[in-house]
Structure 1
Amino acid sequence: MAAKTLLIVAHAPSPNTVRLRDAVLAGAEEGGDGDIDIVMRPPLEAGPDDVLACDGIILGTTENLGYMSGALKDFFDRTYYGVLEEKQGLPYALYIRAGMDGTGTRRAVESIATGLRWTAIQDPVLCRGEWDDDFIARCRELGMLVAAGLGAGVF
């Protein structure tokens, strides 16, 4: 059986968001136990071919003015129609680094994912408010869960 591919598309413009992205990656590597191919791309470099080649995706974004990052929105703008038909049902997960509450960001990403007919694996991981080192553990757990589930054929 061919290895499954997990795509991580994460906007990480600050040292703390880099820590979150790296925690997702570390968790995915651990959860995939070497049986999952993991591809990580910044949103401005990821495109339709990356999505078409994956079996699951983790999206990471900052909350920018109550919305997703412009970089993640750009990713969706460039990939939407190129993957719409072929990737219906794609399992996805989301984490948000929100200085406020993350509600608008969550709603915006979920609206696009619904239009793509992607399947949410779980509720988004919202890392909101002042920085908390627990955010790292929560993002690591997210990566681990998605990779393990993908490897086990759960999604």
Structure 2
Amino acid sequence: MKQDLVLRGQGGSYLRSGQVAELAGVNIQTLRYYERRGLIAEPARSPGGHRAYPPETVTLLTVIKAAQRLGFTLEEVAELLDTGRRRHPTPDLRARAQAKIAEVDAKIADLTTIRHALTRVVTAGCDSLTHCTCPDCPLPFADLAGGRTPEETADL
């Protein structure tokens, strides 16, 4: 970090919006959005009116982005940050992480099903969603569009 770009105030060193955004790997619009959502505190202002963020803001933004990569929504991140700000032990993060693991497992199961279906389409040589000419087409889309259920299609 270039020292000549750091704002100095009564409480120590502060960073401008662009510096915080660059160091945290986000854009300035994201930074402002997180302010509006209350994920990060509204910064002090320099004598010239520039936003003056404490250096810890970069760490907080990095934590927020890491939590998002783990699958937490911004609302969930806000709740977890709020719980952490109260500074008392809570099983909340662990419980939410376990719930997130269950969500991930469900998504993996769904993706596995989708992959299996697509593999069957490729193997069968399907050539159309509505008028496939391959024998034993695994795609019942035309039948479903005609109002028949997969069970009715299987009985044909």
TM bin, normalised by shorter chain, reads: under 0.3
Q: Name the one with the larger strand percent.
A: 1
From the CA coordinates, give the structure whose radius of gyration is larger: 2
**TM-score (normalised: structure 2):** 0.22
Q: Name the one with the larger helix percent.
A: 2
Task: Using CA pairs under 8 Å that are at least 6 residues apart, name the structure with larger relative contact order, 1 or 2.
Answer: 1
**TM-score (normalised: structure 1):** 0.22
